[in-house]
Each structure stands twice: as structure tokens, then as C-alpha cells.
Amino acid sequence: MSIRDRLSGNEAVAYAMRQINPDVFAAFPITPSTEIPQYFAQYAADGKVDTEFVTVESEHSSMSTCIGAEAAGVRAVTATSSCGLAYMYEMLYVAASARLPITLACVNRALTGPININNDHSDSMGARDTGWIQIYAENNQEAYDNYLQAMRIAETPDVRLPIMVCQDGFITSHAVENIELEEDEAVKAFVGEYEPENYLLKHENPLAVGPYDTSPYYMEHKVQQAQAMKNAKRAILDVAAEFERTFGRKYGLFEEYQMEDAEAAIVLIGSTAGTAKMCVDQMRARGEKVGLIKLRVFRPFPAEELAQALSKVKTAAVMDKSEGFSGCGGPVFADTRSACYDLKNRPRLINIVYGLGGRDCAVEDIERVFEYLLRIGRTGEDGPVYIHMGQRSSEKEVF
Amino acid sequence: MSDKRLEIRWHGRGGQGAKTACMLLADAAFAAGKYVQGFPEYGPERMGAPITAYNRISDERCSVHSYIYNPDYVVVVDETLLSSVDVTHGLKPGGAVVVNSAKPASQLRPYMHGYEGDIYTIDARKISEECLGAYFPNTPMLAAVVQVSGVLDPERFVQDMQASFEHKFATKPQVIEGNMRCLTESMKEVRMQ
């Protein structure tokens, strides 16, 4: 039986961590993820978990602690945001290449500078090439559910990769909303125990972790890592299917909302999806054929599936909550556009960078995007491909 | 869904407990079986700086995750904000603003940028100082907006808040009675002018 409650996104993730009772939590605080180790520290102090709660002096050390613990054969978790994730960078690659299924709760926040504590996706998007699986949540419920699924995905034998479970800073992490929680025993049964085949401290077959890799072997290991990331796609779907059978809530690589006959679509990640759903409902009510694709999984990127989902629309806007500084669009756009290249009838794709540093995105903002998409779908007009939404300094504002 | 959704915007200053009141309202509405959102707008927070917090209360889950631009009700926890913040901006016709003030509405309205709607006032300082012996305006303001908006059954609200305070003030039970008196006094005294 689900338990009706109301929690913030941070509370929901800390609650999931308590239920899972991981072996090691390496903690270093940074806004807006600080509450996760804070709540967990209370659980540890109250004896509700028997986790080794390790307070370290930096995020480089928290990730190093997780690496050491996972290499030794136990479950290790941490939480961070923004500059904290950036400070882990070197070790993010080590964790992924050593194939250590660490779970990191990433509470998305803008990167400095200028210094800003609010939400965008520049922290985790910057880490998209580190070899970590990345799953994103729309709200507190998804942050909780994704966390319950994370270890099963990461620890799958032909995956064995670390996983980042992302939620939007403040918008999700600090907003209290209704949530369906699951019973402790049901969660423990679903997540199960971590029993790695080989690990550093296995006395009958000790394993070396992180030795120097020479040129004749390095590339083979990278190919195995790339294959593991491909395998993760199936593991994510398998775990989601079991999650649905167990708890009744359905998840996939992405969510399609009113896409069946949509002519114009928006592709985006995170909490803005909820706002966009309201907009789709309002526009559908007056007969506009609009739809939404909310990406849940960004790494591995669901290229074939996404291209298929976009194959019938005339126009689509990919909305990026990070800049990327490629000079030609954000990271979600780059991958989406690449995925659509092999389609016979490609939709017209535009990129909208929005919401940087906590800039709000309301239903009306989404509506302007849809109106623009419907217009270029009707008229075939050429306009800019790469747009920053709501610029106060822009003279020729598209929106 | 949007028809039945009630949206409230809180204006206060850091340290006055506007965010706490916003979260308590979410708790009370949750206890009454509603779907709730309670969230603050975070800036460079410090004591005395203007802060904003929001509530959405509805019978179905609300998926919108933006700030609230067209609230049904606005709560002003500190009347000195009236000279710097356009508190009634976007307030829906038929809604109301609830201000913590000992002044009559006629003295507050000139600060409201041509706002013509209802103004309710409550002297939260007087109530708080009488009931708690100190100035904590958030509890009286919470009770005032519940009373004015009718979003919750008042009797049920008072019962739920008793339970909520017993939990929140488990280590200092001496303040529970005073807070409860703050609530009931405020619900009695809030008035439209």
C-alpha cells in the first residue's frame, strides 16, 4: 500500500535513501542539495540506518570516498549540486571507467559565474560525457521513484555504471507537494542487496581497481564502457517495467504527452514539463494539435526512440536549460537534432535556451513557443534556429 | 482543474516566517485531503530582505511549476513592503489582499498602484505580542488568509494546526497554547475595510 504524504524533492530523496539504507554516504553540503545529507544525518543519528556517514572536506573527496567504498564492494551514495559537481569532475570519470555503480543525487543548479544559486541544468549537462547514466525528474514523486530504480539500473551486471538522479533545484527540491511513498519493506525488497561479482576486498579473488592502462588495452576498456552505456537503455526499461508491476507507476526513456496526432512538439527535461502539460491541455481544448516529449533519460541518449516519436510532427522546439556554448545550440538540441538526421521526413527543429539561473518559465512562455511552432509549420517561414527565450536586451525578440 | 485551484502569494521579509507560514498552510491543506504546493522564491536571502512564497491548493494534482503571477489572494506579512513591492500585481479580480497592519485600508490603498479590490487587515503585531509575548507575525497571518479565503474548513484547520504545533514544538510545548490563541484571535479579528 502506498503512503499518502507531502514532501519536498530533497525530503523525498533522503526518505528513499533511508529506506534503502546504503552502506556508505559521503557528504559535503552545497545549496540546494544540502538538505539531503542534512536529513540523512538525522536518520543516521537516530539509528534509523546503519550507514557509514562520512563527512568530508570537499566534493572531490566525497566522490573519492564513494569510489573507495564501491571498489571495496559496498553501496555508496552522495548528493551534490552545481560547483560541487564541477569539483568532482576528475573523479566522475574515475568512477565511470572503474565501472562502479555509485548513486549520486544531483540537485540541478546553475554554475558560477556570475554566482547564482537557482536552477538550470548546466551542472549535470556539463557532466554528460563523464560516462554516468543520467535520469531526470519532473517533480518530487519522480525524484523518489527514480531514486528507487537507480541502483538496480546501475548495478545490472552488463551495465555497472554510476548513475546521476537529477531533480530541479528549488523548483523541485524545495517545493512541498503531495507524494505517494512506498512501504520500507516493499522498497527493500525491490532494490535488493548489492552483491558484486568481483571487488577489491574479495579475499578469494581480489580485484585491482584503477591501475594504469596501456595503449594496447585502454581503447578496449573504453569500448566496453560505451557498450555498457548502450546496455543501460534496456536495463532502464526492464527496471521500469518491474517498478510498474510492483508499485503501479509507469516510466520509460521519455514520456510522450498528447503526441499521437501532434503537429508541433516541445522536447524538454525536468520540472518545466509539468508547466508544459498544462499548456498542452489548454491549447488542445481549443483544437491546437500540440504535444510534449519529456526526456527522462539523457544518458544513454534514447536517439532511435526519440527520432521515431518526432517523426510525425511538422515542427519541434528543443528547450535547453543550459547554454552549452557550442555557438549553435544547447546539448539536448544537439543530440535531438543528430538523432533526427536519419529520418526520411525530418521535422523542422529549433532550439530555445531558457530558464538559466532560475529564470522562471510560465504556462504563457510555453504557449508562445507552441504558437511560434504552429506558425512556422503553417507558413514554412525561415527564422532563427537557436533562440534565447525572454531576453530583456534583445531588439528583435522572437518571443 | 484551473477553475478549482486556489493560488496564494506571500510577501514578507527574511526572518518573519512567511515561508514557514506558507509550508504550514500546505500542511493544513494536505491534512484536509487537498493537493498542495508550497514553495519559496529563493534569492540572496538574509534577515529583512523581501521574500516571496507561494501556495497552490487544488482537488487534483497541479503540474504547473512556475511562480504565481495571478494569485487569488496575496498575504503581506510586513506592511513596510508596500512602498517597495507591487504586492497586488496580477491579483485576480474577486481576490483580496490581506495585510498585517494596524492602519485602516484607506491609508494602505494609496501604496497599491491603483488596486481597487478588497483589502483585509489584521494587526498581527498586537495579537502576537498579546498571545506570545513576542512578535511572530506568521501564525496570525496564516489564520487570517485561511479565514478570508475560505480554502479550508476553519474548525478542521484549527484542529490540524493543534496537531501540527504539537509536532513542530515538541521540545518547547509552552508556546503551543500561545500559537493556538494567535490563530483563533486572528480568525476572529481579520476584517475587510
Q: Which of A175, A178, A273 sits opposite B35 (nearest CB)?
A: A178
Q: Which residues of A touch B27 (CB under 8 A)?
A: 6, 176
Distance from CA of A152 to the nearest CA of B (A): 28
> What phi, psi does A224 have (nearest 5°)?
-60, -40
Distances in Å between the Cα of B178 and the Cα atoms of A42, A241, A394, B159 are: 29, 52, 54, 15
- Are the C-beta atoms of residues B24 and B6 closer than 8 Å to each other? no
Contact status of B111 with chain A (Cβ, < 8 Å):
no
What is the mean predicted confidence (pLDDT) over A182-192?
A: 98
CB-defined contacts A:B, below 8 A: 63
> Could you tell me if B160 lies within 8 Å of chain A, comparing CB atoms?
no
CA-based nearest residue in chain B for residue A119? B42
Closest Cα in chain B to A171 = B65
| Contact call for residues A280 and A267 (beta carbons, < 8 A) | no
Given an 8 Å threshold on Cβ–Cβ distance, is B66 in contact with A118? no
Q: Which residue has the cell 516529449?
A: A293
pLDDT grade for A396, boundaries at 50, 70 and 90: low
Give the pLDDT score at B4.
77
Q: Average pLDDT for consecutive 10-residue bins of chain B (193 residues)? A: 79 92 95 96 82 97 97 97 96 97 96 96 97 94 97 95 89 93 96 85
CATH fold of A254-388 reads Rossmann fold (3.40.50)
For residue A31, give every residue at least 6 positions away whose Cβ sits within 8 Å of its Cβ, in sequence order, or none.
Answer: A81, A82, A109, A117, A169
Closest residue, chain A, to B20 (C-alpha): A176
Q: Which has the higher per-residue pLDDT, A357 or B45?
A: A357
Q: How far apart are CA B139 and CA B18, in angstroms?
A: 9
Q: Which three cell numbers stand for residue B30?
A: 494536505
The C-alpha cell at B29 is 491543506
3-state helix/strand/coil string of B1-30: CHHHCEEEEEEEECCCCHHHHHHHHHHHHH
Pick from A177, A178, A361: CB nearest B66: A361
Could you count the other beta carbons within 10 Å of the beta carbon of residue B181? Answer: 17
Contact at 8 Å (CB) between B37 and B56?
A: yes
User: Which among A49, A44, A124 is positioned nearest to A88, based on CA atoms?
Assistant: A124
Contact between chains at A176 and B66 (C-beta distance less than 8 A): no
Q: How far is A141 from chain B (nearest CA, A)?
A: 11
Residues of chain A contacting B36 with CB distance shorter than 8 Å: 6, 176-178
Ordered by where they begin, the domains of chain B are: 2-192 (3.40.920.10)
Give pLDDT, residue A395: 66
Q: Determine the pLDDT at residue A382.
A: 87
> Which triple of cell numbers denotes residue B123?
494587526
Reported CATH class of domain A3-247: alpha beta
ipTM: 0.94
Q: Say how far apart CA A261 and CA A273 lie, in whole Å.
A: 19
Question: Residue B139: beta bridge partners?
Answer: none
- For A277, the closest of B27, B30, B63 (CB atoms) is B63
Q: Could you tell me if A89 and A117 are in contact, meaning their C-beta atoms sit under 8 angstroms apart?
A: no
For B5, list phi and psi in degrees, rounded to 5. Answer: -85, 130
Measured CA to CA, the distance from residue A399 to residue A387 in angstroms comes to 9
Domain ranges of chain A: 3-247, 254-388
Judge: A274–B40 Cβ closer than 8 Å, yes or no.
no
Contact A75, A194 (CB under 8 A): yes
Confidence at residue A399, expressed as pLDDT on a 0 to 100 scale: 67
Q: Using DSSP, state whether A164 is helix, strand or coil.
A: strand
**A16-28: per-residue pLDDT in tens?**
999 999 999 999 9
* Nearest CA distance, A62 vs chain B (angstrom): 27
A293-323 pLDDT per residue, tens? 999 999 999 999 999 999 999 999 999 999 9
Spell out the residues 6+ positions from residue A93 whose beta carbon is closer than 8 angstroms to its own.
A130, A131
- Any alpha helices (H) in A117-265, and if so which ranges? 122-126, 140-155, 184-191, 215-247
Contact (CB<8Å) B63/A178: no
Residue A314, number of CB atoms within 10 A of its CB:
18
A176·B65 Cβ contact <8 A: no
Q: Of the candidates A364, A350, A363, which has an alpha carbon nearest to the alpha carbon of residue A313?
A: A350
* The pLDDT value given to residue A55: 98
**Over 50: is that where the pLDDT of A142 sits?**
yes
Distance (Å) from the C-alpha of residue B127 to the closest C-alpha of chain A?
Answer: 28
B151 Cα to chain A: minimum distance (Å): 17
